[in-house]
Structure 1
Amino acid sequence: MKMTAALLFEQGLPHPFTVSKPLRIEQVELHGPGPGEVLIEVAAAGLCHSDLSTIEGVRPRKLPTVVGHEGAGIVREVGAGVHELKAGDHVVTSFVSSCGSCRYCSDARPNLCTVSTASRAAGTLQSGARRLFCDNGSDLHHYSGLSVYAQYAVVAESSVVAIDKRVPLHVASLFGCAVMTGVGAVVNTAQVAPGRSSAVVGLGGVGLNSLLALVASGAYPIVAADVLPAKLELAKSLGATHTVLANGKNAVSEVRDLTRGGVDFAFEMAGSLPAMDFAYAITARGGTTVSAGLPRPDAAIAYPHAAMVTDERTIKGSYMGSCIARRDIPRFLDLYMAGKLPVDKLHAGDLTFDALNEGFDKLADGSVVRQTLRPN
């Protein structure tokens, strides 16, 4: 079928994107689903910092590609061998399509699936196949096995999770990345217990979801840190008990003073080395620093090795919130429907294709949290 999609042909074009136009809106060809695949009509797709990093060239990808990895939609067709989904189902996408049989899937850690990692690097679906093509017939790469900045997408069955049809799809789309990553870091990776002091460093979509999860988990106090004052005000409205301007002269001592020596858990969600340094510096003895931010692949941190030992400090990575998508997306959606995880407050509005480059300019300058592309 012919459809409209947002294509990225070159990474690293300069800001503003409204001038350089890294995302080109074109007609492309999409072939139908093969074995183990489904065709979804994309209802909404979130503008995420991971997509921004790809556009900026921070994280290299196979090009040209149809961008977008955080989405929700409706199943329109299923391929041979698909038994758990049917036409009409509402689904949320998952940017890791677990194979179910590798070392990590067998150990109940499908977010680390090695088959998914290989296919994502190659720009294909999990099977190694491609269903996307330029209008002239040349190959297009799949982005994280999803490519949801398009009217339709063909994805592996394991790349989507069926959800309750009562959930608005523009809200549901946020659960495909921002909610899984941010909430999962708190409840799965760190397993924060009630009353444990915590801090979130970097208040984008993922960081604010971590904040919401800390509130729901009963953490106290909850410190929110960012370099943008407006983000601190938003964090207060969402339940942060204290806020700190992260680039302030005495920011580290301020956090350590109000938490009697540092927080039990610090969550770095900005994907920058200064943010990671700050998060580590505000973590207490015996505490844990969790990072879900994705900097450049060659970025490296330094830490005082002896102090890590004598203080019994822990540094943990959190990828996709250590989630099992089929277990956690419905669970997190239940919390949203019960009013305990108000992620809809992070939604900053809907966009059409012609406003997509402008939307990424707004994301880059920090003036919005989560916008969603509505491609149909």
Structure 2
Amino acid sequence: MTLAAVIRTLGGPLTVEEIELNPVGPGQVRVRLAAAGVCHSDLSLADGTLRQPLPAVLGHEGAGVVVEVGAGVTDVAPGDHVVLNWSPPCRACWFCEAGEPYLCAHADDARAVPFATDGGGEPVYAGLGTGAFAAETVVGAHACIPVPADIPLAEAALLGCAVLTGVGAVTNAAKVRPGQTVVVIGLGGVGLAAVQGARIAGASAIIAVDPAPAKERLALSLGATHFLAPHAGLPKQIRALTGGRGADHAIECVGRGETIRAAWSATRRGGTATVVGLGSAQDPVTFNALEVAFFARTVIGCMYGSTDPAVDVPVLLEHYRAGRLDLAALVTDEADLAGVGEAFSRMRSGQGARTLIRF
């Protein structure tokens, strides 16, 4: 038995209870969690914006220690430190073979298969196939990214989603070049990671946008050159800071029609708006027929930072060791499993960056 935060109904509470994990099968790994970050995608799963079978253990940004491996597992062994990969590529589908493992056709297969049972014998599912809001979880071996034992697991956990997604959006999807200007809209864990990614990429101006004034100091400390609050005149204000043209790149980390539209409008002619935030299917974004061709802008979607975690996690660790990437600064709150609900409330109100669940 292991303790987990279980959600049973959409929008309902998370209750800490004991679950019985399934036995470790061939190709699987049991991991004892050290820490897990609370991501906005967990909130989207909880409220039904993203689909997830229930009851479920949410949490997909985690790190821990391997305690058991199944038959055929050779890449990790008991005692290894790992970061969980909630979107593990199969390496065999069309997308994987085309060099787009972040779009793997089978990456979310595990979310549809129960990974545990509750005290009454009812099947329990793992959120995004990961189930990191639990003291232990069972995942496929391909969902484990080894990390050196000297890397603090509490900080390594953030690599599993926020940092891979935010930095990857800048370096892999937008492909920001030295000297270019970047706007980052939304300063949660992903947005603040994107700010750091823009600094690492050598951006000449990094304009951070968020409605919470309390985030200004943190954004500036991580590399932002300016901090603005969102308002109707935001694109004009950004043009004033970028030679009258608009930014070369806008990284949208909110997932709302209005902020996606603001990101588009804040870029220069020929600029690129990269949409990272996962929004609602009922929230449209509108462009008129003239502006699309006239401004020659590009809007692109970005799933999981367009990363291959097996390749990109080691790169991020190099930045971390060199002091270019600050993981600890992204953690603005810490809690135990019982605090996941409060972390959701903080996200709804736009407070803080990442809440870290420690086990």
Pairwise TM-score range, normalised by the shorter structure: over 0.9
For 2:84 and 2:239, how far apart are their aligned partners in 1?
39
For 1:215 and 1:354, how far apart are their aligned partners in 2?
36
Q: Report the counterpart of residue 79 of structure 1 in structure 2.
A: 70
For 1:275 and 1:10, how far apart are their aligned partners in 2?
29
Q: Is the CA contact 2:108–2:129 (under 8 Å) kept in the aligned structure 1?
A: no
* TM-score (ref. length: structure 1): 0.92
Q: Is the CA contact 2:3–2:16 (under 8 Å) kept in the aligned structure 1?
A: yes
Specify the code of the residue in structure 2 equivalent to 1:229: P
For 1:52 and 1:180, how far apart are their aligned partners in 2?
19
Q: Report the counterpart of residue 219 of structure 1 in structure 2.
A: 203
For 1:252 and 1:286, how far apart are their aligned partners in 2?
15
Aligned residue pairs: how many?
Answer: 358
Q: Report the counterpart of residue 19 of structure 1 in structure 2.
A: none
Q: Name the SS for the 1:230 alignment partner.
A: helix
Instruction: Return the offset for 1:303.
Output: 1.5
Q: Report the counterpart of residue 305 of structure 2 in structure 1.
A: 321
For 2:3 and 2:239, how far apart are their aligned partners in 1?
51
Q: Name the SS for the 2:36 alignment partner.
A: strand
Q: Is the CA contact 2:88–2:142 (under 8 Å) kept in the aligned structure 1?
A: yes
Q: Is the CA contact 1:7–1:67 (under 8 Å) kept in the aligned structure 2?
A: yes
- Comparing 26-35 and 315-324, the one that deviates more: 26-35
1:184-208 deviation per Cα after TM superposition (whole angstroms, max 9, x unaligned): 0001001111000110011111001
Q: Report the counterpart of residue 288 of structure 2 in structure 1.
A: 304
Specify the code of the residue in structure 2 equivalent to 1:198: V
1:74-111 deviation per Cα after TM superposition (whole angstroms, max 9, x unaligned): 01111111111111110001111211100011112111
Q: Is the CA contact 1:71–1:174 (under 8 Å) kept in the aligned structure 2?
A: yes
1:230 is aligned, of 187, 208, 214, to: 214
Q: Report the counterpart of residue 7 of structure 1 in structure 2.
A: 6
Listed as ranges, the matches of 1:340-359 within 5 Å are 340-359=324-343
Pick closer, same or farther for the CA change 1:119–1:29 going to 2, 3 Å: closer
Q: Is the CA contact 1:198–1:266 (under 8 Å) kept in the aligned structure 2?
A: yes
2:161 is aligned, of 170, 177, 183, to: 177
For 1:170 and 1:349, how far apart are their aligned partners in 2?
12
Q: Report the counterpart of residue 149 of structure 2 in structure 1.
A: 165
For 1:131 and 1:253, how far apart are their aligned partners in 2?
50
Structure 1 position 33 matched with structure 2 position 32: no
For 1:132 and 1:148, how far apart are their aligned partners in 2?
13
Q: Is the CA contact 2:30–2:138 (under 8 Å) kept in the aligned structure 1?
A: yes
1:128-180 deviation per Cα after TM superposition (whole angstroms, max 9, x unaligned): xx331111111111211110100101001111100111110010000000001
Structure 1 position 360 matched with structure 2 position 359: no
Q: Is the CA contact 1:266–1:289 (under 8 Å) kept in the aligned structure 2?
A: yes
For 2:286 and 2:223, how far apart are their aligned partners in 1?
32
Listed as ranges, the matches of 1:37-186 within 5 Å are 37-120=28-111, 122=112, 124=113, 130-186=114-170
Q: Name the SS for the 1:186 alignment partner.
A: helix
What percentage of aligned pairs have identical amino acids?
37
Q: Name the SS for the 1:361 alignment partner.
A: helix
Q: Report the counterpart of residue 190 of structure 1 in structure 2.
A: 174
Q: Is the CA contact 2:163–2:193 (under 8 Å) kept in the aligned structure 1?
A: yes
Listed as ranges, the matches of 1:196-211 within 5 Å are 196-211=180-195
Q: Name the SS for the 1:114 alignment partner.
A: coil
Structure 2: give runs of 5+ residues left out of the alignment: none
1:298-344 deviation per Cα after TM superposition (whole angstroms, max 9, x unaligned): 33211234322232211110100000010001110121111001121
Q: Report the counterpart of residue 239 of structure 2 in structure 1.
A: 256
For 2:301 and 2:148, how far apart are their aligned partners in 1?
31
* TM-score (ref. length: structure 2): 0.96
Instruction: Return the offset for 1:59.
Output: 2.2
Q: Is the CA contact 2:5–2:338 (under 8 Å) kept in the aligned structure 1?
A: no
For 2:219 and 2:188, how far apart are their aligned partners in 1?
10
Instruction: Return the offset for 1:119.
Output: 4.1
Instruction: Return the offset for 1:366.
Output: 2.3
Q: Name the SS for the 2:41 alignment partner.
A: helix
Structure 1: give runs of 5+ residues left out of the alignment: 14-21, 125-129
- Comparing 43-52 and 362-371, the one that deviates more: 362-371
Q: Name the SS for the 1:7 alignment partner.
A: strand
Q: Is the CA contact 1:97–1:145 (under 8 Å) kept in the aligned structure 2?
A: no
Instruction: Return the offset for 1:117.
Output: 3.5
Give the alignment's Cα RMSD to 1 decimal.
1.3
For 2:115 and 2:47, how far apart are their aligned partners in 1?
26
- Comparing 349-358 and 140-149, the one that deviates more: 349-358
For 1:35 and 1:306, how far apart are their aligned partners in 2?
56
Dislocated runs of 4+, deviation >6 Å: none
1:262-292 deviation per Cα after TM superposition (whole angstroms, max 9, x unaligned): 0000000011111111111101101000001
Structure 1 position 287 matched with structure 2 position 248: no
Structure 1 position 278 matched with structure 2 position 262: yes
